[in-house]
């Protein structure tokens, strides 16, 4: 009996609250990432929060619901895309003469669009960490799922 409810997700209250809050969590992750060069946080923290929002959905609605919505194949691709983006930003530094050189210009301090390459790198790291952590979480869940079926 317990297993059955587990597969269908949690109660209605949790589902409703999740529906309301999950977008806010994603928004918070984006905020943390974009302000990484001004306030504490950055790509890694933002990515972890992003992954946690997905994990939140999986726990509330059950993994079958989530697996129906999108395929697992897309996650490693997005993750690698994040890594590739970071590498490309680093390689763009060769224009300025050196690997990892800041070629975007520094800008005015305390503005949102300042500190050059740090913001794009933060976005890349967010993609990498968020989707990487989420795909690792899904893999761990799917192991258990296979085990229960036996």
Partner 1 sequence: MVYVLCLILFLVGLYGILVKKNVLKIIISFAIMDYAINLFFILVGYKNGASFPIFIKGKENVLMVDPLPQALVLTSIVIGLSITMLMVAIAIRLYEKYGTFDISEIRKLKG
Partner 2 sequence: MLPLFVILPLFSAFIISIFGRVNKYFGDIFANFTNILLVFISFLTLYLLNINDLSAITYNVGGWRLPIGITLVVDYYSALMLIIINLVSFFVSVYSISYMEKYTDKTKYYVLFMLMLSGMNGVVISGDLFNIFVFLEVASISSYSLVAFGVESEELEAAFKYLVLGTIASSLILLSIAIIYSYASSLNLAHIALIINRLPVEKVLLTKFVIILLIVGFCIKSAVVPFHSWLPDAHPSAPAPISAMLSGILIKTLGIYTMTRIIFNVFFVGEDIFKLVYWLGIVSMLAGVIIALYQLDYKRLLAYSSISHVGYILLGIGLGTPLGILGGIFHLLNHSVIKSLLFLTSGSLEYSLGTRDLLKISQTNQRLPITKFAMLIGSLSISGVPPFNGFWSKLIIIIACVQSKKLFAGFVAILVSVLTLSVFIKVLKYGFYKKSLIEGQEQKSIEVKDVPFWMKFSMLGLALLCVFMGILIFPNIRDVLLVPASDILARGYEYSKIVFMNK
- How far is Cα 51 from Cα 59, in angstroms, rounded to an integer? 12
| Gap between the Cα atoms of 91 and 40, Å rounded | 26
- What is the C-alpha to C-alpha distance for residues 46 and 33, in angstroms, rounded to an integer? 5
Residue 17 binds what, of partner 2, partner 1, none (CB under 5 to 8 Å, by partner type)? none
| Contacts (Cβ under 8 Å, ≥6 apart) of 114 | 37, 106, 107, 108
Of 3-11, 22-30, 34-42, 98-106, which segment contacts partner 2 by CB under 8 A?
98-106
Interacting residue with partner 1 among 3, 40, 71, 108 (CB under 8 A): 40
Residue 91 binding partner 2, by CB under 8 A: yes
Residue 27 binds: one of partner 2, partner 1, none (C-beta under 5 to 8 A by kind): none
Q: Which of 11, 16, 98, 111 binds partner 2 (CB under 8 A)?
A: 98
Contact partners, residue 1, CB within 8 Å, separation at least 6? none
CB 49 within 8 A of CB 55: no
Q: φ and ψ at 70, to 5 degrees?
A: -140, 165
Binding at 81: pick from partner 1, partner 2, none (beta carbon under 5-8 Å per type):
partner 2
Smallest separation, CB 15 to partner 2 (Å) = 34
Q: Name the token pair of 143.
A: 């192991």
From candidates 58, 101, 104, 137, binder to partner 2 by CB under 8 A: 101
Give yes or no for residue 147 binding partner 1 (CB under 8 A): yes
Residues engaged in binding partner 2 (CB under 8 A): 73, 76-77, 79-81, 83-84, 87, 90-91, 93, 96-102
């Amino acid at each position: 009996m317990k297993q059955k409810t587990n597969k269908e997700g949690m109660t209605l209250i949790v589902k409703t609250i999740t529906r309301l809050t999950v977008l806010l969590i994603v928004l918070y992750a984006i905020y943390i990432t974009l302000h990484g060069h001004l306030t504490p946080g950055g790509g890694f923290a933002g990515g972890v929060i992003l992954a946690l929002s997905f994990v939140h959905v999986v726990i509330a609605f059950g993994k079958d619901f989530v697996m129906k919505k999108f395929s697992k194949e897309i996650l490693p691709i997005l993750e690698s895309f994040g890594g590739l983006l970071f590498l490309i930003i680093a390689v763009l530094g060769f224009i300025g003469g050196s690997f990892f050189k800041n070629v975007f210009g520094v800008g005015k301090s305390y503005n949102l669009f300042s500190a050059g390459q740090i913001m794009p790198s933060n976005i890349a790291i967010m993609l990498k960490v968020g989707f990487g952590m989420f795909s690792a979480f899904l893999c761990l869940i799917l192991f258990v799922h296979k085990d229960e079926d036996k």
